[in-house]
Amino acid sequence: MTRRYALIFTIIYWFIYSPNGFAQQLSTNPSAPTLTLSQCLSQALTKHPALAAVRSRIEGAEQFRQFAAARLNPSITFQSENWRFTGEPPFKASQDLDLFIYGTQTLERGGKAARRREVAAQAEEVLQAELETLKRRLTLEILRSYYKAVVAQSLLEILSENRQNLDQLVKYNDVRVREGYTAEGELIRARLEMQTATTHEATVALELERAKLELLKTIGEAQFNTNFRVTDEADLTPTARLANAPVAAPLSELLQQALAKRPELLTLRARLEHAKAALRLAEANAKSDWSASFGYKRTTGFNTFIAGISIPLHLFNKNQGEIGRAAAEIAAIEHELSAEENFIRAEVQTAYQASERIRQNLFALQSDFLLRADDTRDVALAAYREGATDLYKLLEAQRARNDARLLYHRLLYDFRLSLAELELASGQEVTTTK
């Protein structure tokens, strides 16, 4: 009997205090390389193919702007007349042939060259703004994919710990059943609980795999190797998280920043200026261009000079169609700008309220929330060890502890994501360490 009690005491002590017991914090392949949020953003913003495509279009727009102005491009005309092969008097080329050599240059009116340069410059500004808009969209997608992977990884570590703890509980009850101190029903219940935990862990592992693949796709990675860990650059402890949580600026200030800095609005404003420049170019094109000619003429042996000017008569075509289209485009963009401003106001207010609600929930829980959950489990474990309670009570306490930890970690990362979304919504740069 003494040996049996010593064996049971050893199992209980090992179950509670061993490195593989309840206090163990497991990780998914801790030796794997790590990937931080700043690394994800840096790689995407420098190497993403979509951004490279926009940068190539910007280079093309810059080349177009450089050569948009009119340059001297005259045309040379060589013409001869009065050729004949028969008749009287006999044909003498030096006396009878008319020879013309002259150059013609188009003279643009209405400042068309300046208007073309203006349109080209505004087109480049539109592409620059679109590049910033695409950067913001990619940043938002990376943030959501990254924190989804971080949450899944944290949950997987919690569930892995829970599953190993239940495995130890199964082994403990197996020994007690074989020694005759526990009914076999408790061993069956413990095994069922462990199988449930194993299934839950496998489901979260699949979610983590999908989240990693989504993250790699978002940052523009060509190799989809998911053997890595996502690592938060901030302090992961709940107390430090709450103590270092940044305080958002007042809502009115965030709205002003958003209306001044959001790339979507900058893009629409650049498009509006481009449309106005296009209207001015269309109005300039309504004025006809003149053509001036100057050259040499030889007729009947006499050498003379010729000069002339050609003035088109635009009696009906005043470019009204293009002018009307450009004016309608301006009105359309102004309406789009007004709608986008309203949308951004709503987006900023929504993000602000979401971050405030999550912040309030975090502070309502306080940093000792997990400690109380641990205490509840420890009390149930001590009672189970003394025989004062059954296995159901211990399993319920363990489930409550796991649910508390899962809730707290989800809330923490929801808070981080909400702050990042608020920064993006207000036109600020995303802070990767808080």
Q: What is the pLDDT along the chain (434 residues), one digit of tens a residue?
A: 444 444 444 344 333 334 343 333 334 455 678 888 888 888 888 888 999 999 999 988 888 887 776 667 788 888 887 777 777 777 777 677 788 888 888 888 888 888 888 888 889 999 999 999 999 999 989 998 998 898 888 888 888 888 887 888 788 778 777 877 777 777 788 788 888 888 888 998 999 999 999 999 999 888 888 888 888 765 444 444 444 455 567 888 889 989 998 999 999 999 999 999 999 888 888 888 888 888 888 877 788 888 888 888 777 767 788 888 999 999 999 999 999 999 999 999 998 988 888 888 877 776 677 777 777 777 877 777 766 667 777 778 778 888 888 888 888 888 888 888 888 888 887 766 55
pLDDT tens digits, 371-381 = 777 777 778 77
CA dihedral 41, 45, 48, 51 (to 10 degrees): 150
**HSE of 168, CA atoms in CB hemisphere, 13 A:** 21
CA dihedral 17, 11, 172, 194 (to 10 degrees): 20
For tokens 């009116």, what's the residue?
Answer: 109
The DSSP element (H or E) to which 324 belongs, if any, is helix 320-365
- Return the closest-CA partner of residue 126 out of 250, 225, 272: 272
**HSE of 240, CA atoms in CB hemisphere, 13 A:** 7
The DSSP element (H or E) to which 108 belongs, if any, is none
Provide the pLDDT for residue 7.
40
pLDDT tens digits, 34-45 = 888 888 888 888
Provide the pLDDT for residue 348.
92
State the SS3 of 225-264: CCCCEEECCCCCCHHHHHHCCCCCCCHHHHHHHHHHHCHH
For tokens 């449309």, what's the residue?
Answer: 275
Provide the pLDDT for residue 346.
94
> In this structure, what are the phi and psi dihedrals at residue 238, rounded to the nearest 5 degrees?
-60, -40
The token pair at 145 is 């994919």
Contact 373, 405 (CB under 8 A): yes
SS3 408: helix
Contact 133, 263 (CB under 8 A): yes
What is the pTM for the complete model shown?
0.72
Sign of the C-alpha dihedral computed for residues 113, 119, 124 and 125 taken in this order: positive
Q: Is 82 left (phi over 0), alpha (psi -120 to 50) or beta?
A: left
The DSSP element (H or E) to which 50 belongs, if any, is helix 49-66
